[in-house]
């Protein structure tokens, strides 16, 4: 019998990461399934997932700012790039691209070609109206509200509905200027 080669530290970390990611994906699936059982209406599940995401987002932004060392963004465009490249990478392990800007720079799309949340997922016909990943849109809305940006975040394309990518539309509704807490003398 061939001897078992010891695995390197990197290989062990990679496999622990994969298991963590699978556990996360399966746990999320179990939560969605439970909500479908409890709430019965797909629209109610969509709302609940969005609200759960929002509640996570308002807390997660602190962790994001502390871990990422990202400094304050100059405008909404920079903020969306930071979410797409740093935020998604940190919390989902993938990056998104930012496209479809409108003329006044207040709305755009985040495109995700890969989304670990939907690994192993196939929606039955009874769930066709479900926005399975609504937790993500809620997280973004909640996190942005904590940095003074009121937004509307919605899904335009969804691979679980047969689209080729996931597309999130992010619309800036209002930017509340933050007050500098000290008086300049
Ligand atoms: C700033 O202070 O101007 C920077 C604000 C960056 C906000 C980034 C929020 C991170 C949200 C992570 C989303 C992850 C989705 C899975």
Distance from the Cα of residue 6 to its chain's centroid: 36
* Lining residues, ligand 1, CB within 6 Å: 61, 64, 70, 72-73, 79, 82-83, 87-88, 91-92, 136, 139-140, 143, 147
Q: How far apart are CA 95 and CA 75, in angstroms?
A: 20
Contact 35, 48 (CB under 8 A): yes
Which ranges of the chain have pLDDT less than 50? none
Q: What is the pLDDT of residue 20?
A: 79
- Six-digit token string for 14: 């990679």
Q: How far apart are CA 132 and CA 160, in angstroms?
A: 8
Contact 79, 147 (CB under 8 A): yes
Q: What is the pLDDT of residue 183?
A: 61
- Residue to probe by mutation, ligand 1, list 28, 58, 139, 177, most atoms within 8 Å of CB: 139
Atom of ligand 1 minimally distant from the CA of 92:
16
pLDDT, tens digit (0-9, with 9 covering 90-100), for 75-127:
999 999 999 999 999 999 999 999 999 999 999 999 999 999 999 899 999 89
Distance 136 CA to ligand 1 centre (A): 12
């Amino acid at each position: 019998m061939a001897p078992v080669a010891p695995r390197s530290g990197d290989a062990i970390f990679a496999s622990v990461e994969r298991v963590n990611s699978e556990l996360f994906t399966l746990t999320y699936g179990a939560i969605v399934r439970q909500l479908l059982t409890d709430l019965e209406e797909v629209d109610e599940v969509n709302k609940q997932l969005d609200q759960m995401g929002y509640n996570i987002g308002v807390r997660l932004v602190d962790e994001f700012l502390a871990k990422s060392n990202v400094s304050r963004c100059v405008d909404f465009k920079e903020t969306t790039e930071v979410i797409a490249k740093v935020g998604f990478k940190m919390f989902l392990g993938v990056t998104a691209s930012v496209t479809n800007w409108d003329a006044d720079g207040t709305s755009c799309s985040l495109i995700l070609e890969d989304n670990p949340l939907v690994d192993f997922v196939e929606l039955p016909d009874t769930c066709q109206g479900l926005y399975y990943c609504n937790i993500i849109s809620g997280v973004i809305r909640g996190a942005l509200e904590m940095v003074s940006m009121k937004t509307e975040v919605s899904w335009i394309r969804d691979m679980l509905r047969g689209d080729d990518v996931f597309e999130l539309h992010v619309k800036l509704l209002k930017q509340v200027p933050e007050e500098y807490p000290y008086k300049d003398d």
